[in-house]
Amino acid sequence: MTQSQNNAVSYVRVSSAAQVQKGHGAESQAARCEQYAKSKGYTIVKSFADKAVSGSLIERPAMRQLLDYIYEHREEQVRVIIDDISRLARGLEAHLALRAAIAQAGGILESPSIEFGEDSDSQLIEHLLASVSQHARVKNAEQTRNRMEARMRNGYYPFSPPWGFKSVTMQGQGKLLTRDEPLASIIQEGLEGYASGLFQTQAEVKRFFEGQPDFPKTRFGTVTNETVNRILNRVVYAGMVERTEWGVSLQQGKHEGLVSFETFEKIQERLKGKAYAAARPDINAEFPLRGAVECADCDSPMTASFSKSKTGAKHAYYMCFNKACPSCRKSIRRDKMEGEFETLLQNLVPSQKMVTLFKAMFKIAWNMQAAQSLSMKRDLQRKIAASDKDIEKLLDRIFNASNGTVIAAYESKLENLEREKLVLMEKAQKTGKPKRSFDEMFELAIGFLSNPRKIWDRDELLGKKTVLRLAFSAPLSYHRETGFRTPQTSSIFKALGAVNTGNFKMAERQGFEPWVRSLAQRFSRPPHSTTLAPLRTSANCLGNHSH
């Protein structure tokens, strides 16, 4: 045997990512191949490794490189050493295909675990071992699936954690999903923003995610539409688990969701409902009032753009583009309009006395709500009990029905009842349990109410849009000469303004209905008098005539 005929190559394969990270599987296979080669007097000149590749696959990167190498050195009759028959493949069909490909390229397959031969007995043993390896693969897959299904039926999420979650091993529970910050808070804000209407379209959610440095992006620095749609449709973010193909219906998970199930249902309603017009891509931080200000002459929304002067300097303007408007294309300097708007915001700031008064009012309302929470919880529990009865009746109807169309309709209704019940259970669980104390909640609210101008100056475009939506109930009207018209403020600022300016009066004591004094009316005749009227004297008569 010549020196070149002593050359050999090794092939190793590990099927899971965990084996790749730990490194033990591939290393032990390579060591065993090396030991076998030494015992045979071979020299391993090259090693090929497929990592995290299933044994049922035929097309593999390292296997393709191995076949090319064998073909280039076919005159040397390269020996291919594998640790075990299962490392070549875990399926009879894949094993026979790869075995034939190696032989056709000019290689000789060897292993310390089995002696490959061309006689019938050797082939029978080889095929039996390949079949056993296939059975073991299928059996492992079945057992893994059964364990995952059992975990899911118990409320655990057995798959790789989605974005915003991480798996943490908890004593007595195994791996449990927990929040992975700061990504969890970013996704939560995106979900709640879409459910509440803060983000009108999925495109706005996409731009919000792209504006977050900690959100994963493509190599182009963008977020795909598929990513946004997948996040909006994953019920795991609502603390639920579901796997219809395994027969695992929607149920409460053991992990805490990023949003409530009620919020998730609102998202689904918006996704299935009427489509909103796509948000303009040119709405950016350079013109935060675009879309929120109307022309006072024609009530058309104002647009904005940059204009370049003769010197090449760029100047920002707002303007009306309605051709029928007398102010069409008559530009308004951005600094002028936005400066006047900031003054408008500053005028909304209530006095400290008003803040103290509203805190006392909110405290009373907070206490009243806390007192009502017990009654609300009992009402929810009654609704849950009624829902259970409806579900039970529907199950009886499904059991007794024989028509496939009727059964399908019943099952659809049953699914809706189950989802409604989950919403009720979630509400009942959270009723009477505020996420934060009164002081914390009031501080968050008053932080905006006491000085919206501060938030406007500090935040990016999203914060500025939030100020516009919370402070004003209608678009602002602007005249290019006189400035902003009287704005329609939101109800809370309207109430603060009424108290601050004393624009209120006491109700009249007669009542709340308009008060009109009624004239006295006689509804019956007076009783007939039996007393005779006094006789009139002639003097009296004469006196009257004299007058």
**Each residue's pLDDT tens digit, 321-377:** 888 898 888 888 988 998 888 888 888 777 777 777 777 777 777 777 666 766 777
d(CA 423, CA 444): 27
**Closest alpha carbon to 208 in 234, 227, 180:** 227
pLDDT surpassing 60 at residue 504: no
State residue 161's pLDDT score.
92
Per-residue pLDDT band at 431 (split at 50, 70, 90): low
The whole-number pLDDT of residue 517 equals 53
Say how many C-beta atoms besides its own lie within 10 A of residue 460's C-beta.
Answer: 11
CB 296 within 8 A of CB 229: no
Alpha carbon 221 to its chain centroid, in Å, reads 21
Q: Does residue 291 carry a pLDDT above 90? A: no
What's the mean pLDDT in 159-182?
Answer: 89
Q: How many residues does the chain have?
A: 547
Answer for the pair 50, 13: CB distance below 8 angstroms, yes or no. Answer: yes
Q: What gap in Å lies between CA 324 and CA 529, rounded to an integer?
A: 84
- Residues forming a β-bridge with 174: 170
What was the pLDDT predicted at 397? 78
Using alpha carbons, list the distances in angstroms from residue 276 to 153, 201, 270, 289: 37, 6, 9, 21
Distance separating alpha carbons of residues 87 and 133, to the nearest angstrom: 9
Give the residue-averaged pLDDT of 504-515.
Answer: 50
**In the structure, what pLDDT confidence band is assigned to residue 527 with cuts at 50, 70 and 90?**
low
Between these two residues, 309 and 185, which has the higher pLDDT value? 185
C-alpha 506, offset from chain centre: 48
- Look at residue 458 and tell me whether its pLDDT is greater than 50: yes
Name every residue whose Cβ is closer than 8 Å to that of residue 503 and which is 6 or more positions away in sequence: 497
Say if pTM beats, i.e. exceeds, 0.75.
no
> What is the pLDDT averaged over residues 6-24?
71
